[in-house]
Amino acid sequence: MRLNWFLPFLRKKKRSEMLATPSFVTRCAMAIFPRSCFADRVTGKPGLIRILLNRLGPSVLSSPLRRMVQTLSLFLFIVLFFYVCWPYSARPAAVGQQSDNWRLVEVEQHTGSFRFEADLRPDWIGDEATVLYVTNGNDGSSYVGAFKVANIAGNMLSLRPVGELSPAALDSLLLAQGTWSFGETEPDRWPSHYADDLAQKEFIPAELFLVIDPLVSMSTAIASRSWVWSLTCAAIILVACFFIPRGFCGYLCPLGTLIDLFDWSFSRRVVRFRVASDGWWVHIKYYLLAGTLVAAMCGVLVSGYVAAIPVVTRGLLFLGEPLQSGMARGWHLVPPMHVGHTFSLALFAIVLGLGFLQPRFWCKYVCPSGAIFSLGNLLRVTERKVESTCINCNKCVEICPFDAIKPDFTTRTTDCTLCQTCGGVCPTQAIKFVERWNLVELKVENDPPTGETPLGRRGFLALATGSAAAIVGGTSVAVATRTFGARLDDPTSFRPVRPPGSVPEQEFLEMCIRCGECFKACPNNVLQAEGFQQGLEGLWTPMVNADWAGCESSCNACGQVCPTGAIRALPLEEKKVARMGLAVVNNSTCLPYENREACQLCVDECNMAGYEAIEFINVHTQLDSQGKPIEGTGFVAPVVLRDKCVGCGLCQTRCYAINVKEKQLLTASAIVIEAGAGNEDRLMTGSYIELRENERSQRRPDSPKFENEFFVPSGDTPSVDPLVPDPTPDAASDDPFGLNS
């Protein structure tokens, strides 16, 4: 079994040497491309392909397949991040055409069809089996249902119900007066353009690279004491790496490829900070991995700070997303940065800047995700081997990107990624990549002497010291994070509004990997990175900033791209009823409640979103001496329906944008979204639809309907209690809500 996919070193043919038959791939290429593209194996003269690869770099010439896979992986990562997770390519669903003034002529008893007639039938109703959505023409909100065209005769249509009509719909159809309207689309259907757009673009999961980073799923499962679905993906990539040891690091990891690009562009030009490859730092990754897992055992998830893919995802989020949004949509739509962003960018800069110490210093010595694959190499099936024809030229040591070759030119098996770059520079072709148990014509080990010995006393002391430091460090980080963290047992502590479908807060903090993928997929930057409001425990976790934007009713992207299940992947129907928080009206600043001016921004926004969770009540209506309302006095003010509000924040966004930013009537939004006990749903499992239905069935008749039901506005003049029926209904029957005032 040979896995030799490097480009062998080109040398002149010896007289007695027999040239091997070219591989099948090479023969196919030679049949397609001109002969000048290929090297002359007799004279050792390179062809155009080798010349081009050599100009790209010696590692590209040595192992072009690996570099090609690296490039494709980075390109795929960028496409998933900047295209698939880019929500602004979505467009609202088309409303569809409408035809009015249809009259119900008769009901055909033998077929169950309803016959309608109009003065003119539009051309778009031209085929039988067309589905029409019927509403009362006098009252557009009176939707009956979907009907299929059974027969067309001129301007007369026979419609048959799609499914069984409810008794209420049937009564409406038979007893309502006036004409009927036919629509091409369902009138009360919510648009789903964001959800549909993500599903159409997601040819593979947008979070693919996050779920195949094993440290992400392992640490999350340990911290939350639960099964994380991405563990399956991590297991698959680990099994694959038994055959291609550390293949993730050598071929797939986008952070490693970015580090290669940074080293090629910058760090290779500065050598004054270079360090040796045999210092105390060579095993940092193992101790960092141990500390991360110890912290996870204590219930604190810190792998998001050090795992490879979260680091690069968050780095591109805070660097690339503002540039993409600013250039494509306008710089005023880019949220401001805070200290949390600066901290993340500094961490990303450190990861890249380690290249000044050694090329790929992070990948060689620091990356804890790579440490997992290094430990997995102990179960490897394939391995780099060196044959006895080795001439000790040292070229393989110089070009190895992972410091995986010993001074005697044999392999440090836990560090080798099977990148095969060394095979392409070996002038005697002494390097082969074969099954682990292949022992044919191998080079004698420790020749020349490496100075590397078994564990020994010094090694044991270093191992013991490093392990103790990892345990103490992981435990200390966990204790400090919890001590200066979210303080969930304190009801007065900061409670952010989390995305819809988020698991309970404690589990959320233990499962959120802080990768930032949900921020990228969220339209209008509703989700923004939390700062230090909850200490390190909440840093970079997603929170709703409703002053900036509200959660779109047609989007469920955050749960779809979450790699750990901290935000559940809810269908759109479930997401629409998942309560993120509760809108609370500030009666001391709301313009109608304060008797300043009429305002219904929040009500209009809520109705447009399809929730209809805010209603009007009369406030400050003055009474005459007979106790009757005085015409033209008072306002209608908003009141939130607890059982309908999901805390999307659209109302707060509208109030803040108009009354605070544009008109400057307020210093803060008069309606805000509040999280916390009783205001949000945080389920680990189960249906939000069933939860809402159970709540409705169990609600007592005397339970509060409104968010602020027991508020009675104050005023200098007599007023009607906003929640008590008008004492003079006849006087207000023409204007029950005071809209004409």
Which pLDDT score is estimated for 453? 62
Q: What are the chain's domains?
A: 1-56 (no CATH), 98-183 (2.40.30), 204-375 (no CATH), 505-565 (3.30.70.20), 574-732 (no CATH)
Segment 144-163 mean pLDDT? 89
Above pLDDT 90, what percent of the chain? 60
**Residues in Cβ contact with 383 at an 8 Å cutoff, skipping those fewer than 6 apart:** 245, 411, 413, 416, 433, 434, 435, 436, 438
The mean-pLDDT minimum among 125-129, 225-229, 251-255, 441-445 falls in 125-129
* Widest CA span in the chain: 123
Q: What is the 3-state secondary structure (H, E, C) of 466-502?
A: HHHHHHHHHHHHHHHHHHCCCCCCCCCCCCCCCCCCE
More confident residue, 188 or 53: 53
State yes or no: pLDDT of 222 exceeds 90. Answer: yes
Q: What one-character DSSP code corresponds to residue 736?
A: T
Instruction: Measure the CA–CA gap between 569 and 253, rounded to whole angstroms.
Output: 25
**Residues in Cβ contact with 737 at an 8 Å cutoff, skipping those fewer than 6 apart:** 616, 618, 636
- What distance, in Å, lies between the first and last C-alpha atoms of the chain? 88
pLDDT tier for residue 372 given thresholds of 50, 70 and 90: very high
- Encoding tokens for residue 97? 């055409």
pLDDT tier for residue 172 given thresholds of 50, 70 and 90: confident
- Whether the CB-CB separation of 214 and 237 falls below 8 Å is answered with yes
Which pLDDT score is estimated for 459? 56
pLDDT tier for residue 388 given thresholds of 50, 70 and 90: very high
The mean-pLDDT minimum among 245-259, 466-480, 536-550, 565-579 falls in 466-480
In order of 93, 172, 661, the CA distances from 98 in angstroms are 15, 20, 38
Segment 355-365 mean pLDDT? 94
pLDDT tier for residue 139 given thresholds of 50, 70 and 90: low
- Whether the CB-CB separation of 559 and 500 falls below 8 Å is answered with yes
State yes or no: pLDDT of 22 exceeds 70. Answer: yes
More confident residue, 111 or 531: 531
What angle, rounded to 10 degrees, do the helices at 308-329 and 254-265 form? 70
Top-ranked range on mean pLDDT: pick from 15-24, 38-47, 112-121: 112-121
What angle, rounded to 10 degrees, do the helices at 214-224 and 368-376 form? 100
Segment 33-40 mean pLDDT? 88
Which pLDDT score is estimated for 394? 92
Nearest-5° Cα angle at 638, 689 to 692: 10
